[in-house]
Amino acid sequence: MAGASKNSRTTVATQKFMCPCGGEIAMKTLMENGRLRNIAECPKCKRVERRPKDFK
């Protein structure tokens, strides 16, 4: 019997990141100097970091 491929078994899960101020961190994509740049921003305190993990 053939099993399901490895890629078909993966599940999609969205992860919510929380800022220390209590706001939920949102990922944004900006175009700067012809390059795409992903940033993480807290809409509550307007803090901007490179990735959600940097808020800790």
* pLDDT of residue 43 exceeding 80: yes
The Cα 30–Cα 11 span in angstroms is 28
* pLDDT for position 1: 56
Q: Is the pLDDT of residue 21 over 70?
A: yes
Note whether 24 and 17 are within 8 A (CB). yes
- pTM of the shown model: 0.62
Q: How far is CA 46 from CA 16, 24, 34, in A?
A: 17, 11, 24
Two structure tokens written together for 52: 């959600």
